Chain A
Amino acid sequence: MAGSVPLASNKPSTVRKRVANESVAVKWTLIGAAVLVMLWLIVLPLTIVLAEALKKGWGVYVEAITNPDALSALRLTLLVALITVPLNTIFGVVAAWAITKFKFRGKGILVTLIDLPFAVSPVIGGLIYVLVYGAHGWFGPWLQEHDIKIIFALPGIILATLFVTFPFVARELIPLMEDQGQQEEEAAVTLGARGFRVFWKVTLPNIKWGLLYGIILCNARAMGEFGAVSVVSGHIRGETNTLPLHVEILYNEYQFSASFAVSSLLLLLALVTLLLKNWFTRKSHH
């Protein structure tokens, strides 16, 4: 169940004027309580990452994030996202087209199956690839014979990341395209537009904000995934360590400041994601 609630249900709130309202005292007590909850639950973890990262000064901070192992982890994380996000985006668009533009039997089952990875623990998401491609797995002996490494190597990390980020784009687009129906596309086809052009000129402009929203959520998860990647990575420093795994290694070595310094990079990713997400939500509601 990792992750997202569809954009469509995420409207910016507008306050209604009403006769039936709480007294001013109750209102401000509730607001105060909510702000306290936010400060405690959300703002405090965010603050401690920055505080711990800078505890030993800028020197340690800069050294931690420019360390060769950290840079190699950053490169790997970017590479994994660069491969997995486009693949799952293409799937999301294609699947949403098939599901929302046509009637067929078993549509409900297909939609449920697409959501499946959200219902599966990330650790299981990694385990299944070990069972298929690992040394003792289905294709293990064959892969070993041909000297192909999937588990404890880049392909395994990519596969596990593909699995956990699988539903993000499709899940975002399906309700959106469902609501928009298919009249506009049908009109375009009747007027002589063909195939991909219909999608590009008619559908895409209608879904672009929702699509971007799905992509950034998918990207945040792809760069931040820990459990699934942890199972298949093998934790080889400078080779199969992603940024989140690097955070763990530094933490377990009691290099807390360095660990939090690397964490602050991932926190930055989260904040940028929220910023973009907010922008896309606003755009999609004009």
Chain B
Amino acid sequence: MHSTTTKRGVLPGFGLTMGYSVLYLSLVVLIPLSALLLNSTGLTWSKFWDVATDPRVLASFKVSFLTAAAAGLIDVVLGLLLAWVLVRYDFPGKSIFDAMIDLPFALPTAVAGVALTAIYSPNGWIGSLFEPLGIRIAFSPIGITLALMFIGIPFVVRTVQPVLQELDAEVEEAAATLGSSRYRTFRKVVLPELLPPLMTGFALAFARGIGEYGSVVFISGNMPMRTEIAPLLIMSKLEQFDYAGATAVALLLLLISFALLLLINSLQRRVRKTAR
């Protein structure tokens, strides 16, 4: 013990803190998660395959992925606008504006869910404007997308903001001096620098979106094959005591989320490298 402490430097507590961290991590996260993988529900390969190819399951994945991707893409555009305005300009009320960006992080998702449903339902403030045009927002994929946009917007703003902040002004000035128009400078000089954080922001919003439950269940209407999202399907399988089915859907969702996590991590490393 003594020799390891000296090898690790003079600071105390490696054994204790490391041991506690690993123990707590195992108890709260790793062991419960392994219940999914370790076939505790009598889930066989053939059952897994049946669930994975069930049209209703596939439809729910399609809804989850398409709405999360659409919301992520819209958030990239809107988030870039918000980050740009916050970093580059001064205007009255800016600090409140900046603070409010994080509201979706702090607001319980169920509250976001009921609030958005009230806004976009056929008799809501915005929903009622679209109802005469024959456009239904709540209880359609558009509503799900709006909920996921709300949840995802801070991820994009908060990843783009610091990079934009650190961007070297001289390059833009040089481009301007050389006669490049402002728009051209933005497209050719600024945007390439912002591409990695925009991609990270998209990935974060997208990954959050496919797992999101609270803000979506109220506005989606939960119609199988049309507006049923994958996390809700896990929930309804559980309510029918179909533990194997719930596990199968959860496993599929988990595998995809992990693949995304790896992608995000490698993207973030690249962003950090360019930021330095």
Contacts and interface: CB of A to CB of B under 8 A. Distances in A.
B139 to A, nearest CB: 14
Interface stretch (A14-22, A60-68, A141-149): A14-22
Contacts of B98: 12-13
Nearest to A138: B40
Given A18-B172, A102-B14, A37 B28 contact: no
Interface in A181-230: 182, 185-186, 189-190, 194-195, 198-199, 217, 220, 223-227, 230
A79 interface: no
A251 B247 contact: no
A123 interface: yes
B59 to A, nearest CB: 17
Contacts of B102: 274, 277
B180 to A, nearest CB: 9
A42 B20 CA distance: 40
A77 B40 CA distance: 31
Contacts of A185: 11
B160 to A, nearest CB: 10
B145 to A, nearest CB: 12
Interface in A94-128: 94-95, 97-99, 101-104, 110, 112-117, 119-124, 127-128
A180 interface: no
Interface footprint category on B: 35 or more
B134 interface: no
In this complex, which of B153, B154, B159, B214 has the most chain A Cβ atoms within 10 angstroms of its Cβ?
B214
16 contacts: A1-B205, A3-B105, A5-B154, A13-B98, A21-B182, A41-B149, A112-B261, A116-B33, A124-B231, A131-B243, A163-B28, A198-B12, A220-B105, A227-B212, A227-B231, A275-B99
Given A121-B212, A121-B257, A263-B110, 14 more contacts: A9-B162, A18-B172, A41-B149, A52-B115, A98-B21, A110-B25, A119-B261, A121-B231, A185-B11, A186-B9, A186-B11, A189-B10, A225-B108, A226-B109
The 9 closest A-B pairs by CB, nearest first: A224-B108, A121-B211, A227-B213, A226-B214, A20-B176, A98-B17, A270-B106, A34-B85, A5-B158
Interface of A: 1-5, 9-13, 15-16, 18-23, 26-27, 30-31, 33-35, 37-38, 41-46, 48-49, 52, 91, 94-95, 97-99, 101-104, 110, 112-117, 119-124, 127-132, 134, 136-138, 159, 162-163, 166, 182, 185-186, 189-190, 194-195, 198-199, 217, 220, 223-227, 230-231, 243-245, 247-248, 251, 256, 259-260, 263, 266-267, 269-271, 273-275, 277-278
